[in-house]
Structure formats: structure tokens, C-alpha cells
Amino acid sequence: MLKAADFGSDFLWGVATAATQIEGASNSYGKGMSIWDIFSKRTGKVKNGHQPVNACDFYHQYKSDIALVKTLGFKVFRFSISWSRILPLGKGLVNEEGISFYHHVIDECLVQGIIPYVTLYHWDLPEELSKNGGWTSYSINSEFNEFVMLCARTYGDKVKNWIVINEPFGFTSLGYMLGVHAPGETGLTNFFSAVKHTAIAQADGGRILRAEVGKANIGTTFSCSEIIPYTQSDADILAAKRIDCLMNRLFVEPTLGMGFPTADWDVLEKFTVSHSTWRHNERMTFDFDFIGLQNYFPLVVKFNAFIPVIQAWEVKAKSRRKPHTAMGWEINADSFHNIIKQFAAYPIKNIMITENGAAFKDVLKDGKVMDEDRIAYFKLYLSALLKAKNEGINITGYMAWTLMDNFEWAEGYHARFGLVHNDFKTQQRTIKDSGFWWKDFLTK
């Protein structure tokens, strides 16, 4: 039987969240609008017109929510700072109410013996900055640095664990290439210019934290997915390689000083060559104390000549008759193990799994929330993680996604990933069976 003790007594167990997904109070206490507040108001962008206005009301319930983290047996609480809550216009004017809110959250963690891991950017760019191009604009780097500096100087005495950016590939691709996430921009030119500025911001952020925060433990996070060719044909194998360059290699390699992975995909050369001068390569590099990996699914891809540039197409889990979550994401713990190994081949000092979890259609009965599927999922994935750790990979922590059901971006409130059920009408929290499973796993 799987035991938490098998991971070692120093292993850090946590739950992860993000500001927009849980806080609510999106338009009060001096907070400025973020791109998600605006994007979700646009017809058809978020399922059922859901908006993050109230989300989980964490803004008012943070004390009892942090108590829940503790009840479930976790040591770490990962949350993000909403940029537009502390800098309503993205720069300049500081909102003191926003500043004190995060002081309260951090203090509450410390009082309850929970270690705060603070993410600086989890996708909620201030709308005012987006008006000038947001991540596609040259000015974003100085604006981001101002935000990081403010956070570091304000909270650095109390917070030692920092995550600069959450999944750079996630928001640059969904928000600036495909237009399905905020701010809804499309096209490769927008995408690659957002990529460049984000890669710079990530390393700049690391440098600012290093200079400003004594004894800081600084990380950043990458989404990762094993990319599996549909067949062993050359065309499918090459298609898989292109997707791998995009989804797994695009950000980690510049961070490690290797530049963009242009050698393995010439199209990347075309789009990044103007950005990839030695000067930028140096600026995109930072020696992070840990790299956060976030895994949700593998991707099976086949060649498709009709898809411009990338010429690859995903073959969905459902059509391959593979077990999948409510999001349609394949459940495949071997692929989790494989992608950890792929990243471990880089010169990374320390890997933390900063997100992993699943949405299912939970069953509510007699005041209980039954989610056997989620328990089975965690057992599988944690076994794969232990296997990777026992093979000698330096993995030092795991954070489950997520504490409670929340605003799941373009999916609205339907996709439920929580260990705790949330009734969005009453804001009543109910620990799911999976939450009790974690409690037993971590405390018995």
C-alpha cells in the first residue's frame, strides 16, 4: 500500500490554488480589473457566461479555507497574488487594501503552521496593461518587474518560497495564439512576441527575488505532457517532435540558457530568430532553485497536412477509447512518470510537482461527496511519482490541484477539480471523499 512516509520525511505535500479561481471580490476593495474579469464578460468566451466575480469568496473565507488545508494534512498552501489587486492599473498607484489582504493570508498560514508558496503570475494580467498589448508589448517587462519588486519588498520577510510564473506555455498559447483564454488574442506573431517577453519576465523575476529576498527558494512552473506519436511513421514521429518543442521545451530551454529549441524545428527559428540574440538568451536564463512541473495529460498526435505551420493533430483519448477525466484528458500515470524523466534529463537541481489533479462528475448524496475516481487517480499518479523518485530523480514535493472546486477558466464553474466541494450559491464547503483520503494518507 502507498504510504506518504515512502516519499521521505522531508517531502513537501501541498495544495495549489490561484487568485482568479478562488478569491472573488473581483471588483471591490480597490482591486482593478484583470483580463479575466473583462474576457469572461464577452459572450461565448466562458461556458454558461460564468464570471470570476465571486468565485469561492476566498477573499472573505481565507481563514477557514487555510484551516481546511491544515485539516486535510497538507503542509504547503500555494496561492497567487492578483496583480491588479495590489496595482489596480498594473503600475504606479498601490492599493493598500490589496496589500493588507495578502499580509492577512500569509500571516494566517504562518499562524496555522502552513508554509506559503506564492505564485506571482497566474494568468490575471491587469486589464490596463492589456490595453497596450499586454504580454505582446515591450513595456510589459518593466511593468512586471515593478510588480515583482513590490511583492518581494512587501512580503519577502515572511514569504521565502516563490513561483515566478504559472505555466508560461499555457497562457501564451491559449490567450495569445488560440484566443480561447484571456485576453483572446490569436496568431503566431502575437504568440511568439508573448513568448519572448514571458521568458524574459520569468528570469528577471527570479533575479529580482534573489536580490530582494534573503534565503529565498525561487522556482517557476512549466506545464508538461508526454507527446506520443499516433503511429511509428516518420510523419507522426516528426509531428510529435514539433509539439514537444512547443509544449515541453519552449520555456524550459531558454531558462536553462539553451535558447529556444530551434534546431529541432526550423519554423521556430523563423519566429524566434529576431528575439533570440545572445543578449536575450542571457536575459532569459536564470538559475532557479526548483522547477515546478504540472501534468494533467499526455498527448497523442498524428501528422495532418491541413493544420498550418504545426501540421499535427491531437487524437483525443475518447476516440482512442482510453480512460479519461471529465475534461476528456487521458488518465495515464505512466506518461506522468515518463515526462518527469524527460525533464530530469535537463540540468535541473530540484523538481517539485506544483500541480496535478483531475476533474470528475462527483456524486453528492446525503451530504457526502463521493469521488472514487479522483481517489483512484491520485493513487495511480502518486505511485508513478514514487517510482520516479526511487529511480533517483530529485523530486522534493507534490501539490495537488486543487483545494476546492473553483472557477476553471473558460470552463467556468462546471469542471470540478477540488478535494473540497464548493456550493457556489451558498459558498458552503464539503470535504469530498478524496479530501478524507488525503487526510488519512498524510496523517495516519
Q: Residue 408: how many CB atoms within 10 A of its CB?
A: 20
Q: Is 13 annotated as a binding residue?
A: no
Which CB sits closer to ligand BGC, 229 or 412?
412
Q: Rule CB under 6 A: is residue 405 a binding residue for ligand BGC? A: no
277-316: which residues touch ligand BGC (CB under 6 A)? 294
Buried/exposed 200-223: b ≥16 CB within 10 Å, e otherwise: bbbbbbbbbbbeebeebbbbbbbb
Question: Which of residues 180 and 258 has its CB atom nearest to ligand BGC in the complex?
Answer: 180
Question: CA gyration radius for the chain?
Answer: 21
Is position 259 an interface residue for ligand BGC (rule: CB under 6 A)?
no
Q: Any long-range contacts for 236-243 (C-beta under 8 Å, 24+ apart)?
A: 236/301, 236/302, 236/303, 238/303, 239/301, 239/302, 239/303, 239/304, 239/310, 239/311, 239/312, 239/313, 240/301, 240/312, 241/265, 242/267, 242/310, 242/311, 242/312, 243/299, 243/301, 243/310, 243/312
Give the 3-state DSSP-derived string for 90-143, with helices as H, strands as E and coil as C. CCCCCCHHHHHHHHHHHHHHHHCCCEEEEEEECCCCEHHHHCCCHHHCCCHHHH
Our finding on whether 223 is near ligand BGC (CB under 6 A) is yes
Is residue 23 near ligand BGC by the rule CB under 6 A? Answer: no
Whole-number minimum distance, CB 324 to ligand BGC, in Å?
14
280 is in an annotated binding site: no
CB of 359 to ligand BGC, least distance (A): 7
Q: State yes or no: is 355 an active-site residue.
A: yes
> At closest approach, how far in Å is the CB of 163 from ligand BGC?
11
CB of 355 to ligand BGC, least distance (A): 6
54 binds ligand BGC (CB under 6 A): no
Stretch of 7-15, 153-161, 162-170, 281-289 lying at the interface with ligand BGC (CB under 6 A): 162-170
Binding status of residue 247 toward ligand BGC by CB under 6 A: no
Residue 170 lies near ligand BGC (rule: CB under 6 A)? yes
The residue from 108, 124, 236, 355 that contacts ligand BGC (CB under 6 A) is: 355
**Interatomic CA distance for residues 111 and 351, integer angstroms:** 27
Tell me if 83 is assigned to a ligand binding site.
no
Beta strand 363-365 pairing with 368-370: antiparallel
Of the chain, the end-to-end C-alpha distance in Å amounts to 13
Kindly state the helix (H) or strand (E) to which residue 14 belongs, with its residue range: strand 12-16
Which is closer to ligand BGC, CB of 80 or CB of 285? 80
User: Annotated binding residue at 122?
Assistant: yes
How many chain residues bind ligand BGC (CB under 6 A)? 11
Catalytic residue from among 167, 185, 226, 330:
167
166 is in an annotated binding site: yes
167 assigned to active site: yes
Residue 174 phi/psi, 5-degree rounding, is: -75, -35
Distance CA 400, CA 435 (A): 11
Give alpha helix (H) positions in 360-406.
Answer: 372-390
408 binds ligand BGC, rule: CB under 6 A: yes
190 marked as binding residue = no
Q: Does 330 bind ligand BGC (CB under 6 A)?
A: no
Q: Is 198 in the site for ligand BGC (CB under 6 A)?
A: no
Q: Which residues are catalytic?
A: 167, 355
Residues comprising the binding site? 21, 122, 166, 296, 401, 408-409
Binding site for ligand BGC (CB under 6 A): 18, 21, 166-167, 170, 223, 294, 355, 401, 408, 417
